[in-house]
Amino acid sequence: MTSLQLISLRKIFEPDNPAVRGLDLEVCSGELMVLLGPSGCGKTSTLRMIAGLTQPTSGDILFDGKSILSMPPEKRDAIMVFQDDALFPFLSIGDNVSFGLKQRKGKTAAQHKKLALEALAAVDLKGFENRRPHELSGGQRQRVALARALVLRPRMLLLDEPFGHLDRSLRQELRSMFRNLQEQAGITTIFVTHDQQEAVQLADRIAVMMEGKLQQVGKPNTFYEHPKNPAVARFFGSSNLVPGIKTGDKVKTDFGTVTIAKSSVSDGPVWLVIRIESIETGQNGNNSFSGLVESRRFQGERIRYRLGLNGISLDWLTSPFVQLEPGATIEFNLPADRLTVLEK
Ligand code: ATP
Phi, psi of 97 (to 5 degrees): -70, -35
Residue type, 59: G
pLDDT at 127 over 80: yes
CA distance 338 to 98: 52
In this structure, the residue with its CA closest to atom 5 of ligand 1 is: 40
In this structure, the residue with its CA closest to atom 2 of ligand 1 is: 39
pLDDT band at 61 (very low <50, low <70, confident <90, very high): very high
Q: From the CA of 14, how far away is ligand 1's center (Å)?
A: 11
pLDDT band at 100 (very low <50, low <70, confident <90, very high): confident
CA distance 291 to 293: 7
Give me the chain's average pLDDT, please. Answer: 92
pLDDT at 105 over 80: no
Q: From the CA of 82, how far away is ligand 1's center (Å)?
A: 15
Query: pLDDT tens for residues 143-175?
Result: 999 999 999 999 999 999 988 888 888 889 889
CA distance 19 to 55: 12
- Using left for φ > 0, alpha for ψ between -120 and 50, and beta otherwise, residue 290 falls in beta
**pTM of this structure:** 0.89
CA distance 15 to 120: 45
CA distance 47 to 61: 11
Q: Supply the pLDDT for residue 7.
A: 97
For the segment 305-322, the average pLDDT, to the nearest whole number, is 93
pLDDT band at 202 (very low <50, low <70, confident <90, very high): very high
Query: pLDDT tens for residues 236-292?
Result: 888 999 999 999 999 999 999 999 998 889 999 999 999 999 999 987 778 999 999
CA distance 217 to 24: 10
pLDDT at 1 over 80: no
Whether 18 lines ligand 1, by a CB cut-off of 6 Å, is no
Domains and CATH numbers, the chain: 4-223 (3.40.50.300), 239-343 (2.40.50.140)
pLDDT at 301 over 90: no
The separation between CA 312 and the C-alpha centre of its own chain, rounded to angstroms, equals 30
For the segment 95-105, the average pLDDT, to the nearest whole number, is 86
Evaluate the CA torsion angle 320, 324, 325, 331 in order and state its sign.
Answer: negative
Query: Which of 71-75, 84-88, 93-97, 187-191 comes out lowest in average pLDDT?
Result: 84-88
Q: Supply the pLDDT for residue 283.
A: 78
In this structure, the residue with its CA closest to atom 29 of ligand 1 is: 13
Terminal CA-CA length for the chain: 36
